[in-house]
Structure 1
Amino acid sequence: MAQGKLALYLDLIRWNRPAGWLLLLWPSLYALWIAAAGFPGWHLVVVFTLGTVLMRSAGCCVNDVADREFDRHVKRTAQRPVTTGAVSVREALVLGAVLALAAFVLVLTTNAAAIAWSFAALAISVIYPYAKRYVSMPQAVLGVAFSFGIPMAFAAVQGHVTLLAWVLLLGNLFWVLAYDTEYAMVDRDDDLRIGIKTSAITLGRADVAVVMACYVAAIVVWAVVMVGRIPAPWIALTAAAAGAQAAWHYTLIRERSRDGCFKAFRVNHWFGFTLFAGTVLGYALN
């Protein structure tokens, strides 16, 4: 019985689908490197890596509770544990609270600024699941939530959040808009039927063009930020590698097929990894 319940909890937090927390992890890590102008130390790397996994898992618990009535009408989500009743709402919320508390314990090992910003990060994470009921572009709210590791990284390294952190957050927001719109394109038909608001519905036939523009904007912001910080040839090489991935995504989503859009979403973490690797190697080569 206990083993079966554990399997349900692991399914609830998407343990077998690490792409979700990787989308959160890479921007947080490259922000650490930029804030520290190089390797930020193993303590912060471990704190932000474990904290990202824990908070994404906690977010899944809250999201599935908030969406349980909608999820039963969507083919992709109908079998989620909370939706089917295999995990109760109370169990999911308790698990989410425990995971968030564990993440907060990790933040307590940093500094007062990071601790203070963690409350804002938590608030945005809780708000997002309800945004799709009221906001025509809830992906923008997710973009802020999924980018908040960036100001927290600067707070942890420098003791305050600089303008540079917000510029990086803006760049990452464009990336989140790109991949979460791809995700929304998968469920567009179901979401239209049940009345959920998403960027894929709001953008209509402009969805593919906007997704590609967001990829370009994300790359440009990263490249501009890195000018003067790492060698220019390395900036160009990293931007080209990220751009090639964006071009591949265009081939996956241009027909708006469910499978193509879902594949584009699932492999998006490689785009983030490319910018992270470019940042790390760029500082190493300086």
Structure 2
Amino acid sequence: MTAPSTPAGPAPADSAVSWVDRAPAALRPFLRLARIDRPIGSWLLLIPCWWSVALALGMQARAGEADYSRALILGVLFAVGAVAMRGAGCTWNDILDRDIDVRVERTRARPLPAGQVTLLGAFAFLALQALVGLVVLICLPPFAIVTALASLGLVAIYPLMKRVIWVPQAVLGLTFSWGALMGFAALLEELPAAAFLLYAGSVLWVIGYDTIYAHQDREDDALVGVKSSARLFGRATKPWLVGFYAAAAALIGVALVTAGAGPYAWGGLGIFVVQLGTQVRRLDIDDRALCLKLFKSNRDAGLILLAGFLLDALVG
């Protein structure tokens, strides 16, 4: 479906028709700048956070020390933080990429290149979203605050990486997967081996699904001279995806062993693997609509794995 034009200017080509199109005209460009009309990014940022809370809760439960109320509060805080920080990240990305976005068909109607938001307005909006993230941050224990702050360098440099390295998705993976550490840091106030294994598995998962996403822009990226794993892997994308997804599943499996997880967690991982395999089997890198659909299916894959972790913590 094509996004409609509005009094606040046309919606970007990669924007979905949503309640944003019925919001007050003055707010629409800022909501689009934060990708509120495309919640998949917030989901994919949030899911590793929830994985880590659930896996850490399972470790507590097996030790007879489960703090379910605290885990629930952390789940809510991470949800708010994920929306705010994903929006801030997108705003920062668009500030840095405004001259590139205007040359790419899918992004040229975004608020900054389309002139719907001024550069000063974008920086002010970035500060507002960062403030929301700060409020969430100060609600966490000190160890978790320090852990979160350690990710800021990655957040700052990620938008620049497509100008520098051929697999900028690796830096996105390091950034978007940070939540796989945060649940442990906030609930256990330590980072056991399971946290780092879960993080590494999530990084590879992100590289895989964002390579699928990047195939939508493969031709435009070549024209404007930006690098991506989609351009690098090209027709060999499927074998690479098999490698990334298999390694991701293996690392998450080792995390489960290290955490002492039970059959429900393993069942979730099994269904997760089947869903990733389905993505690889169905992928056609020349079908942009299918690439977007398969990319979005990772929300469901991540939630399936989360369900296994939660069941393991609650009834395992």
Map of 2:250 onto structure 1? 220
Residues 172-197 of structure 1: CA distance to partner in whole angstroms, max 9, x if unpaired?
Answer: 00110011101111110100111001
Residues 66-99 of structure 1: CA distance to partner in whole angstroms, max 9, x if unpaired?
Answer: 1111111212111100111111122112111211
Distance 1:119 1:235, change over 3 A: closer
Residues 193-218 of structure 1: CA distance to partner in whole angstroms, max 9, x if unpaired?
Answer: 11001111122322121112222222
Identity within the alignment, %: 35
1:230 aligns with 2:261: yes
Q: Distance in 2 between matches of 1:275 and 1:214?
A: 17
Quick check: 1:231–1:285 contact (8 Å CA) kept in 2?
A: no
Quick check: 1:131–1:141 contact (8 Å CA) kept in 2?
A: yes
Residues 29-76 of structure 1: CA distance to partner in whole angstroms, max 9, x if unpaired?
Answer: 110122232545322111111111110011110011111111112121
Quick check: 1:253–1:260 contact (8 Å CA) kept in 2?
A: yes
Residues 128-161 of structure 1: CA distance to partner in whole angstroms, max 9, x if unpaired?
Answer: 0011111111000000100111222222122232
**Alpha-carbon shift at residue 113 of structure 1 (Å):** 1.3
Distance 1:133 1:255, change over 3 A: closer
**Alpha-carbon shift at residue 246 of structure 1 (Å):** 1.5
Q: Distance in 2 between matches of 1:4 and 1:194?
A: 32
Mapping for residues 62-211 of structure 1, pairs under 5 Å: 62-211=92-241
Task: Say which of 5, 16, 33 aligns to 2:37.
Answer: 16
Task: Say which of 267, 277, 280 aligns to 1:250.
Answer: 280
Q: Which moved more, 1:192-201 or 1:249-258?
A: 249-258
Query: Once superposed, what is the RMSD of the aligned Cα atoms?
Result: 1.8
Task: Say which of 20, 23, 28 aligns to 2:49.
Answer: 28
**Alpha-carbon shift at residue 121 of structure 1 (Å):** 1.9
Q: Supply the AA of the counterpart residue of 1:31.
A: S
Quick check: 1:172–1:218 contact (8 Å CA) kept in 2?
A: yes
Map of 2:292 onto structure 1? 262
Q: Which moved more, 1:60-69 or 1:38-47?
A: 38-47
Q: Hey, which of these two has a bigger chunk of helix by percent?
A: 1
Q: Distance in 2 between matches of 1:137 and 1:42?
A: 36
Structure 1 length as normaliser, TM-score? 0.93
Q: Distance in 2 between matches of 1:144 and 1:129?
A: 13
How many residue pairs are counted as aligned between the two chains? 285
* Stretches of structure 1 lacking an aligned partner (at least 5 in a row): none
Map of 1:279 onto structure 2? 309
Q: Distance in 1 between matches of 2:120 and 2:292?
A: 30
SS of aligned partner of 1:226: helix
